[in-house]
Amino acid sequence: MMKIKVGQGSCGISAGAAKVYEALKTACPESLATVSVTGCIGMCFLEPIVDIYTESGLVRLVKVSESDTEDIINFIKTGDINFVSRLVIKDEDKQFLEKQTRIALRNCGNIDPESIDDYISAGGYSALQKAVSEMTPDDIIEQLKVSGLAGRGGAGFPTWFKWNAAKSETGEEKYLICNADEGDPGAFMDRAVIEGDPHNLIEGMLIGAYTIGAKEAIVYVRAEYPLAIKRLTKAIEDAKSKGIIGNNIFGTEFCCDFRIKAGAGAFVCGEETALIESLEGSRGMPRIKPPFPAASGYWKKPSNINNVETFANVPWIIENGGEKFFSLGTQNSKGTKVFALTGKIKKGGLVEVPMGKSLREVIFDIGGGMRSDKAFKGVQLGGPSGGCIPAEFIDTVIDYKELSKTGAIMGSGGMVIMDESTCMVSMARFFLDFTAKESCGKCTACRIGTKRLLEILDRICKGEGKEGDIELLSDLCERIKENALCGLGQTAPNPVLTTIKYFRNEYEAHIKNRCCPAGECIDLIHYSIDPEKCTGCSLCSKKCPVSAITGKVRESFSINRDLCIKCGRCMDACRFGAVRKGSGDCE
Amino acid sequence: MDNLNNLLLLDPVLEQYKEVPGSLITVLQKTQDIFGYLPESAIAYISEKMNVPTSKIYGVATFYTQFRFNPVGRYFIQLCQGTACHVNGSQLIEKAIKDELGISDGETSDDGLFTLKNVACLGCCSLSPVMTINGETFGSLTPSKVRGILNELKSSAESEAE
Ligand SMILES: Cc1cc2nc3c(=O)[nH]c(=O)nc-3n(C[C@H](O)[C@H](O)[C@H](O)COP(=O)(O)O)c2cc1C
Ligand code: FES
């Protein structure tokens, strides 16, 4: 029988996938095909996606809407592809997946995340069974060591080392914690794993719990991910009823309980010690390290914390052996990494590639380059803690060391693409606005330092920059890096430092010429009407909320800059492309 | 709000979590689920029942952006200010909302219809810029699209009132 699967991650649902699913479910007779849900396959730019598994293989339909239901049913009934050929994925878009290597995301978009049986038939939980019945904790640590797996939460610390440290601690009570706070705004790798393959996370965590000797596993999920919480909750219940979570797992001595804690919205809670404070019901203020969580973590007990993607790799490594993982990647960085490709990119979505691929391969070969005809300007890696890599370094390979050399970091996987229309000063201001708001306030360097950085950047973006501001920024950045207590403050200056390093001319244009070369900073741009193109239709002047546009009908109109509030309605309204946005001469 | 009957709604929650160490955030989340925000009287009630000083409760509640201390309007707008949305013009969207409704981040319009809350990343970055209204997502926004959506909601509220 044919199977229809509708991709329903948060992104698919926002693009209308839930409606498509309901429509197909209602219209499709059960005798013809089953209609089920699957997670996000990562091709967000093509959502909603409907996969039809026919006898002769997979037919993938993209950008489907409810109104296509009838044609899809007709196709299923008759097998005549002409009913749906307009929806079939194009060959060039197929490459988006074909050029990837999927380990952490291996089941996402293929299995039904709400069905434990689906996961088990895809080979799920066999790694856990193997681990608890055939391997000792030391065997597992050895495999992880061989694999070279490093933490995917940002810092890239070897996973085996942390597990070994927690395992070596004596004491009955230990905790295994998953960091699903995914604080980098603009990144959604962890969300996709939990929404698309929650059992994979549970399996990885149970293997971890067995290894370190924890009897309780906790997932700290960000509050903004209701669907992830829902699917994970269901997965935990199903695993409990199958005896995979609970006592004597797979008939062994190993017992482990499992629960979810929903975060409440605080970026700093992604930092592991702040996360522990939050788990304990307090304000999420980071603790001073050492002691590290391995020695004294949740309720001062030995605890191990890993990122979602880190855990998602574990069952595969146990199943296939560490060496196979090790064989992917570069000298310093092993395995694959998932990236969330967003911004001005043509094909935005989730990309999992082996370490060692270049940024160019990810952004251009897989992502299809820029969405508009504007030139690629740079890519922000690592979110607010990371940095911006300019176009000239597009051939840098994905590797912890190589990326750090540019001043950016691998980060957790956010990759925000910027083109010529993105102002780098405004970008730095944006990140500092974020970190200043999210600073927990415990240490002065971060609390006050980020605020001062923001004020200076604000001034520059408003055209009130002063001679010496760049030096002042750089100096302040160095001091914050040196003195901040936790990773949030220590890395907050990175976006400023990298944009100064690579786009100093943009800072200078703002400061010296009161001009924004990208035409983004609203205080430095102005609207004008091109008299050549204006037909005098008067539509813009009717739309202007402050009556700043005057002129003669059928002749030409002009904008009074003193009155203009730069709302852009005239530009939206003009049908002749006569309204221009500009920032004068920046040279 | 200050009536005791309403506060009794909290009893099952408090019963469940009173003895669970570290459960204050969960209790506050459930309280907000019930009332839509954290009323002063509820905080006092939780303090008394859980034997936690109100200062500690306020300390926790004000730390996390999820918690609110005022009721929200009928339409609760969450505007994404994540990186992807920023790059794709979320400031222009915010400006359009401000122009249209006269509210900034955290404020509710005078008619009580709209509340605006900026959030960092709704996880739909590929549709950026994005906002949600009462949980429903609107993606690939432009200022004129936003004005259209808001005006439609305004007029549907007006026609209901008539
Ligand atoms: C400000 C800040 C935010 C962080 N946010 C996250 C996060 O959202 N997710 C995550 O996994 N790690 C985050 N980390 C890193 C964690 O502290 C920790 O290193 C990580 O969870 C360890 O897991 P791993 O070894 O598997 O990477 C953050 C660190 C800092 C300093
Ligand atoms: S940045 Fe707006 S949804 Fe992610």
Give the mean model confidence (pLDDT) for residues B79-95.
93
Q: CA geometry: angle at A260 spanning A486 and B17, to 5°?
A: 100
A143: nearest Cα among A316, A355, A399, A309: A316
The three-class DSSP label of residue B159 is helix
Beta bridge partners of A178: A219, A306
Whether B83 is in the pocket of ligand 2, judged by its Cβ within 6 Å, is: yes
Helices A444-461/A494-513 angle, 10° precision: 30
The whole-number pLDDT of residue B3 equals 55
Residues of A in contact with B33 (CB under 8 A): none
Q: What whole-number distance in Å separates Cα of residue A321 and Cα of residue A323?
A: 6
- CATH class (in words) of the domain with range A525-586: alpha beta
Average pLDDT rounded to a whole number, residues A401-409: 94
Residue A488 in contact with ligand 1 by CB distance below 6 A: yes
Q: Is A265 on the interface with B (CB under 8 A)?
A: yes
How many Cα atoms sit within 13 Å of A294 on the Cβ side? Answer: 15
3-state helix, strand, coil in chain B (%, to 5): 50, 10, 35
Q: Is the CB–ligand 1 distance for residue A273 below 6 Å?
A: no
What's the mean pLDDT in A305-319?
A: 98
Dihedral angle at the C-alpha atoms of A341, A344, A347, A348, nearest 10 degrees? 30
Q: Residue A572: its pLDDT value, please?
A: 85
A179, containing H or E segment = strand A175-180
Q: Which residues of B96-113 are buried (b: 16+ CB within 10 A; e: fewer)?
A: bbeebbebeeebbbeeeb
Residue A479 tokens read as 């001091």
Q: How far apart, in whole angstroms, are the C-alpha atoms of residue A6 and residue A86?
A: 18
A472: nearest Cα among A442, A505, A511: A511
The pLDDT tens digits of the residues spanning A255-284 come to: 999 999 999 999 999 999 999 999 999 999
CATH for A424-512 is: 1.20.1440.230
Task: Using DSSP, state whether B21 is helix, strand or coil.
Answer: coil
Q: Give DSSP secondary structure letters for A107-122.
A: TTTTS-TT-HHHHHHT
Calculate the CA dihedral of residues B24, B30, B31, B33 and round it to 10 degrees: 150
Whole-number Å distance between alpha carbons of A109 and A582: 44
End-to-end CA distance of chain A: 66
Q: Is the CB of B128 under 6 A from ligand 2?
A: yes
Task: Give me the CATH topology for the region A336-419.
Answer: Ubiquitin-like (UB roll) (3.10.20)
**Contact flag A10-B95 (C-beta cutoff 8 Å):** no
Cis peptide before A293 (omega within 30 of 0): no
pLDDT at B2 over 60: no
Quick one: pLDDT at residue B124? 85
Question: Which ligand is located closest to the Cα atom of residue A400?
Answer: 1
HEC string for A301-359: CCEEEEEHHHHHHHHHHHHHCHHHHHCCECCCCECEEEEEEEECECCCEEEEEECCCEH
Q: Please indicate whether, in this complex, the C-beta atoms of B92 and A434 are within 8 angstroms of each other.
A: no
Task: State the ipTM, two decimals.
Answer: 0.92
Alpha-carbon gap, residue A339 to A191, rounded angstroms: 12
Residue B151 is predicted with a pLDDT of 95
Q: If you measure CA to CA, which chain A residue comes closest to B23? A: A281
Residue-wise pLDDT for A30-51, tens only, equals 999 999 999 999 999 999 999 9
Q: Which residues contact A19 (CB under 8 A, 6 or more apart)?
A: A65, A66
> Any idea what the Cα angle at residue A211 is, between residues A240 and A296, rounded to 5°?
100
Single-letter code of the amino acid located at A6: V
How close is the Cα of B125 to the center of ligand 2, in Å? 4
Gyration radius from chain A CA atoms: 26
Q: Which of residues 94-133 of B touch A (CB under 8 A)?
A: 95-96, 99, 119-128, 130
Which residue ranges make up each domain of chain A? 2-98, 116-326, 336-419, 424-512, 525-586
* Amino acid at residue number A286: P
pLDDT grade for B154, boundaries at 50, 70 and 90: very high
Does the beta carbon of B84 sit less than 6 angstroms from any atom of ligand 2? yes
pLDDT digits (tens, 9 = 90+) for A433-477: 999 999 999 999 999 999 999 999 999 999 999 999 999 999 999
Kindly indicate the confidence band of residue A1, based on its pLDDT and cuts at 50, 70 and 90: confident
d(CA A76, nearest CA chain B) in Å? 30
Please check whether the domain covering A116-326 is classified as CATH 3.40.50.11540: yes
Q: What is the pLDDT of residues B16-42, one digit of tens each?
A: 999 999 999 999 999 999 999 999 999
pLDDT > 70? residue B5 = no
Confidence of residue B142 (pLDDT cuts 50, 70, 90): very high
Contact B144 A342 (CB under 8 A): no
**Residue B118 near residue B127 (C-beta atoms within 8 A):** no
Structure confidence by residue, pLDDT tens digits, A110-152: 999 999 999 999 999 999 999 999 999 999 999 999 999 999 9
- What's the rounded Cα separation, in Å, for the pair A388 and A424? 9
What is the pLDDT averaged over residues A522-545?
92
Q: Using the beta-carbon criterion (under 8 Å), do B83 and A225 form an inter-chain contact?
A: no
Task: Say if residue B150 is exposed, middle or buried (CB neighbours under 10 Å; 0-12, 13-18, 19+).
Answer: buried
The whole-number average pLDDT for the span B87-99 is 92
DSSP character string of A517-538? TTS--GGG-EEEE-TTT-----
Taking an 8 Å cut-off on Cβ atoms, the answer to whether A416 and B63 are in contact is no
**A411 Cα–ligand 1 center, Å:** 9
The answer to whether the CB atoms of A11 and B126 lie below 8 A apart is yes
Category of A331 on φ-ψ map: left (φ > 0), alpha (ψ -120 to 50) or beta: alpha
Q: Is B90 helix (H, G, I), strand (E, B) or coil?
A: helix
Q: How confident is the model at residue B126, as a pLDDT?
A: 84
Residue A567, pLDDT score? 83
Beta bridge partners of A261: A220
At the fourth CATH level, which superfamily is domain A2-98? Glutaredoxin (3.40.30.10)
Q: Is A349 on the interface with B (CB under 8 A)?
A: yes
